[in-house]
Structures are given as C-alpha cells and as structure tokens.
Amino acid sequence: MKANLSTSVRLELEELRQRLQEAEETLEAIRSGEVDALVVSGPSGEKVFTLEGAEHPYRVLVESMNEGAISLSLDGTILYCNAAFARLIGCPLDQIMGRDLVEFVPVEEREMLERLIGRGHLDAVRAELTILAAPGRELPTQVSLNPINLEEGPSIAVIVTDLSERKRHQQAEAAVRMRDEFLAIASHELRTPLTTLVLSLGAVEQDRTKGDLKQIQRSLRRAQKQAERMGHLLDRMLDVSQMAAGKLKLDLAPCDLSDVVRDIVERLSEDASNAACELRLTLSGGIVGKWDRFRLDEAFSNIISNAIKYGAGHPIDIQLQASDENAVLVVEDHGIGIAPDDLSRIFGRFERTVASKNYGGLGLGLYIARQIIEQHRGSIRAENRPCGGARFVIKVPLVSSTETILKN
C-alpha cells in the first residue's frame, strides 16, 4: 500500500515538474519574442496578454494601417503596437512593447496623457499630443483612445495619427495669408508717402514758375519728409528680412543710454506735438554699457512711437534707470490700452491689435524692438495700466552681463 502511494506521489510530482518546466519555457519564449504575447508584472504577479495569431483578421487589419495602433493596459503599459507606430517613432518593436507610453511623451505633456488614459478605459477620448521619436524629434500627433475588452481583461485601444504634414500645410497657409496681408499693408503704407511726394514735387514745379521761393522750400520739406518716411518703411522691411534669416548683427560699443533716450525724445517731439502728447522724460544719470547704439535707438523709438500712436491726446511717461545688473526703460501711455487676449501676441511679426484703417503702420515695430532687445540678452513685456493705457518695460543687461555677447 505504501509502495503504491509513494509511486503515485512521485508520478504527481513528476507531472507537476513537467508542467512547471513547460510554463517557464512558455514565459521565456514570450519574453524573448518567440510567442506573440506579453508578460506584465504587477502587484498580483505576472499576467500574460496574448494575440490570437498573426493570421487573425484583426491583426492583419491593424498591421496594414498607416496610423500607429497601440493596446494599453489600464496603467499605461504598451501591450502591443503595430509596425506603423514603430516606424513613426523610429524604434524597434521589441524596444517598445512592455514600456510605459508616457516614456514616449515630453515631460510637460505626461500629466495630460495620464488623464487621457484615466478617461480612455471608460469612454472614447481624443486629443493632440507630442510623441518623442528618434533621433531627438518631436512629432505632433492626434491620439484616439477607446476602451476594449480582451480575454485577459479590460484595456485601451489607441490610434496615433501623425499631424506633421497637416501642421506644415497649416503653417504654409498661414504664411501665405500673412504675406498677402503684409503686401496689402505695405502697398498702402508706401502709396501714401509716395502720393504726397509726387504732389509736393508737382507743387515745386508750379511754385518755380511763380517764383515763390518760400513755397518751394515748404514743398521741398514735405517731399523730403515723405521720402524719409518711405526710406524708414523700407528699412523696416529689410530688418525683418535679416531677422528672419538670422543675419541681424550687433555692433557693440560703449555708449550712454541716457543720451540715446534723450535724442529719441527730442527727435520724436514733433510727432508727439502733432498727436497732442506731452513726452515726460525722467533720467537717472548716465547709464553706460556695451550696446549697439543704433539698434537700441531703433527699438526704443519703436516703443515710444507706438505709445504716441495709441496714446494720442494724453501724456507719455518715459523713465530710464539702472536696476541691479540691468538698464530699465519704462514707457507708459494713457491711451486705449491692450486687450488681454492680445498681450501675448503684440510682439509677433505683422501683428495688429486694431484695424489698420484707424492706425497706420506695417505691424512690425514691436516685433523689431523685441528682436533687437533679445539680441542684447534683454527682455521686453507689455501690460495694461490699472488706470488705463499700456506700459512697456524693457530691460537690457549692463556691461558686466553683455560681454558674453561679444564672445558669442
């Protein structure tokens, strides 16, 4: 009896040993990719997720898709992905499955992805998401998440659509619209001084026949002013071209910003008077640094001219002082102010926050100012004043902070 029992136990142990060995071999085959399945380790142990075979119609359909397709566990682990997703991110399949999807998303977007996964196992969700691809690329994509039920339990199906081409197309369309708008504005802005110039020269000819020397001089001054205005507009367009090509160079040399601002105020005093604006200047002694005087003159002039344009009929406060390691210029007007939604875009190229028929210009002044100031390693910001009007704060580093520009 004992012998029979002992033999039975040995047989059961041998059978269990064989089954355990088979299980271990199966798990090892899965891990090595020989079997189309995935082992996911969790608090309750290892769990096996399998597909039903490469010839399964679902698998054939998914593998033939142009979009990336992913199966996720509820915690965001990639259980499966098709070849299209692997090509999209430039990574071998065996280096994708089993990893967390958030690893393929920039840090700043991971929280959003985790929220999507949290909703995706309950309902269909869709969002735009940046996917990290090799080598060091960031792809704009649209991800669609839908809950699905596999034999192993609930999971999430994810479709990843590459938006790169669509984004390029949208950017190209936006560039064409911007170009057309700029050409229309530029034509209008150049036509006005050109017409005045032609009329002034015609008046000179008429006055010459009459022998009216004083009137000839007045007509010539008007013609000169309009020619200067046209030159200024063309210079702005050239500046934008250089900035877009990254060819704007700085000629750094010691200069006193107090002199620069004082010269600007004197030069713009006639424009301010015509706009019924009083320019109130406050300077705190000599502020010396290594800057490109010509370029900073251009940037500061654009800011002050902008204040005169939109603050007509009110005083303009201009204050220059040294603060810590920066020279700080503050320009305040008491005009129409800036809509909150426009504060983030007014420094963009060709941006206009009001209709061009009410306020002329190419929409380049603030853009050029920002580019020049940032080239000096400085900063510029705009804000609304509590009592109305706008405030521009410009900071440029002093000598000790700007010497690195020369090295660069």
Q: What's the count of helices (H) and strands (E) in the chain, helices before strands? A: 11, 14
State whether 59 and 103 are in the same domain. yes
Structure tokens at 36: 């189309």
How far apart CA 156 and CA 74 sit, in angstroms, is 7
How far apart CA 160 and CA 388 sit, in angstroms, is 48
Task: Report, in angstroms and rounded to the nearest whole number, the Rg of the chain calculated over CA atoms.
Answer: 35
In tens, the pLDDT along 201-251 reads 777 777 677 767 777 777 777 777 777 767 766 776 676 666 666 667 788
Decide which of 113 and 52 is more confident.
113
Decide which of 143 and 35 is more confident.
143
When divided into structural domains, the chain yields a total of 4
How far apart CA 77 and CA 100 sit, in angstroms, is 4
Q: What is the pLDDT of residue 406?
A: 44
State whether 184 and 76 are in the same domain. no
State whether 97 and 120 are in the same domain. yes
State whether 104 and 58 are in the same domain. yes
Choose one of 244, 277, 292: the last residue of a domain: 244
Of 275, 268, 269, nearest to 302 by C-alpha is 268
Domain that holds residue 3: 1-28
- pLDDT above 90 for 32: no
State whether 257 and 401 are in the same domain. yes
CATH number at residue 145: 3.30.450.20
How far apart CA 327 and CA 324 sit, in angstroms, is 8
Instruction: Establish if 167 belongs to a structural domain.
Output: no
Query: Measuring CA to CA, how many Å separate 35 from each of 26, 28, 38, 105, 110?
Result: 8, 9, 8, 28, 31
State whether 373 and 328 are in the same domain. yes
Instruction: Establish if 168 belongs to a structural domain.
Output: no
Structure tokens at 253: 């040399």
Choose one of 189, 211, 244: the last residue of a domain: 244
- What is this structure's pTM? 0.50
Choose one of 140, 162, 184: the last residue of a domain: 162
